[in-house]
Amino acid sequence: MKIIADIDIPDLEIFLGSGDHLQCTSGREITSDFVRDADILLVRSITKVDSLLLENSDIKFVGSATAGIDHIDINYLRARGIHFSYAPGCNANAVVQYVFSVLCRLRKNWRELCVGIIGCGNIGGRLYRTLKALKVRTVVYDPYLNETLIPDLNSLEKALNCDVISLHTPFTNDGNYPTSGLINEQGIKTLTPGSLLINTSRGGIIDSRALLDRLLKKNDINVALDVWDSEPNIDVSLAQKADIATGHIAGNSYEGKRRAVEILRRSYQIWRRNDLVEYNKIKRASKAIRMKHAIDTINAIILSAYDVREDDLEFRAAVLNDKNVSEAFDRYRRNYRARYEFAHYQVTHAGRFGNDLEVLGFTEPGSSSTKSI
């Protein structure tokens, strides 16, 4: 079979069966001509998979190494009988890590605040359970859930009234609760002065013009944005006003990317009836973080493992200062460094922070894994 794949998907060789031919290219260069005589298509979020791409092709299986699927026309694939697989939850740990790093940078007293979580699926749910275990007050808005599952469920207005608002909804234009423009001009106006808005879901969930207008006129809220309207052609003015600005990398951890590939491979292997080559998983040794001073805090430990400010500074230098923002944005994502999740790190001499570190996902010294939340 002929396999067309985004070159930035790692470990693509694990999809090969006997006699298969693999051809890789940039996700934005995957066109209808490119896939015309292919059988398998493996993509990331930058490739739109719809009738324009596949109409005259022989594609039988589409796999997306992503947690979100707003770039996939599911109805078209079903109508064509094309098997589809993706990787929900693969990036949950990494996104939660990103949110905590933002909190440590912009709200050092985050444990004393109330966090509003909008969307409580794989990622929002992971954040919710972690915050609850750390005894942080939370308000959750998710119209698809009930209070039996989430005791802190409340209205969108209540969630937007919190000290911190973190967005974790998929991007949808239809259904009973479409999320396109969910945080509209009125919602942005109601944000409490001094609040912090974090978006790691999709840019189109926020009315970007209204958000920029408030930042330009009042500049009385803090904003951390990892996702943008019209990526990769992002609004530079909004990015420059954001307190933290990064290029769609919140879920881009070393483990998350390989977790996505493993999820896809399992589905693909069933579809192929196990006609794949064997492969050995690569295990990486944990890295130690040593508590050096009695004044070290949870914040210091989190930032030792992952400091979002480093990504922010690199994004501003590499993308916002480039004349061709679109190309720079893609290049930034393509060349993003290997970033490891909290489970990669063992904290020695954790003392009174031991339980909290376990909740966050750090590995205890001497163990190879950590309890999942």
Do 172 and 315 lie in a common domain?
no
- How many other C-beta atoms can be found within 10 angstroms of the C-beta atom of residue 242? 22
Do 260 and 237 belong together in one domain?
A: no
In a domain, residue 366? The reply is no
Which pTM value belongs to this model?
Answer: 0.93
Q: Which domain holds residue 34?
A: 2-86+253-271
* Residue 367 in domain: no
pLDDT higher than 90, residue 284: no
pLDDT tens track for 96-153: 999 999 999 999 999 999 999 999 999 999 999 999 999 999 999 999 999 998 999 9
Is 213 found in the same domain as 258?
Answer: no
Same domain, 73 and 99: no
SS3 assignment, position 315:
helix
Is there a single domain that holds both residue 9 and residue 154?
Answer: no
Number of domains in the chain: 3
Do 143 and 207 share a domain, yes or no?
yes
User: Rounded distance, CA 86 to CA 43, Å?
Assistant: 10
Question: In whole angstroms, how far apart are CA 350 and each of 152, 245, 335?
Answer: 31, 31, 34
Backbone phi, psi, residue 296, to 5°: -60, 140
Q: Any residues with CB less than 8 A from the CB of 122 and at least 6 apart, and which?
A: 67, 88, 89, 92
Decide which of 228, 245, 262 is a domain's last residue: 245
Q: What is the pLDDT of residues 50-102, one digit of tens each?
A: 999 999 999 999 999 999 999 999 999 999 999 999 999 999 999 999 999 99
Look at residue 370 in the predicted model and tell me its pLDDT.
Answer: 39
pLDDT at 183: 98
**pLDDT given at position 261:** 94
Rounded-to-integer distance, Cα 123 and Cα 160, Å: 18
* Whether pLDDT at 372 is above 60: no
98 & 226 share domain: yes
Active site residues: 202, 231, 248
Tens digit of pLDDT for each residue in 297-339? Answer: 899 999 999 999 999 999 999 999 999 999 999 999 999 999 9
Does residue 169 carry a pLDDT above 90?
Answer: yes
Is residue 108 in some structural domain?
yes
Domain co-membership, 224 together with 144: yes
259 and 299 co-located in one domain: no
Q: How confident is the model at residue 373 (pLDDT cuts 50, 70, 90)?
A: very low
> Which of 12-26, 131-145, 184-198, 232-246 shows the lowest mean pLDDT across its residues?
12-26
Q: Is residue 365 part of a domain?
A: no
Whether 58 maps to a domain, the answer reads: yes
Domain assignment of residue 282, yes or no? no
Q: What is the pLDDT of residue 369?
A: 45
Give one DSSP letter per residue of 63-88, joined into a string: EE-SS--TTB-HHHHHHHT-EEE--T
**Does 142 reside within a domain?**
yes
pLDDT in the model for residue 354: 84
356 and 321 part of one domain: yes
224 plus 133 within the same structural domain? yes
Instruction: Read off the DSSP letter of residue 316.
Output: I
In percent, the amount of the chain with pLDDT more than 90 equals 84
CA angle 105, 111, 116 (to 5 degrees): 85
- pLDDT at 283 (0 to 100): 60
Would 370 be classed as within a structural domain? no
Higher pLDDT pick, 308 / 351:
308
10/146 same-domain check: no
* Reported confidence tier of residue 294, pLDDT bands at 50, 70, 90: very low
Q: Does pLDDT of 33 surpass 60?
A: yes
Q: What is the pLDDT of residues 225-283, one digit of tens each?
A: 999 999 999 999 999 999 999 999 999 999 999 999 999 999 999 998 876 656 656 56
Round to whole Å and give the CA distance between 150 and 127: 12
CATH number at residue 336: 3.30.1370
Q: What is the CATH number of the domain that holds 121?
A: 3.40.50.720
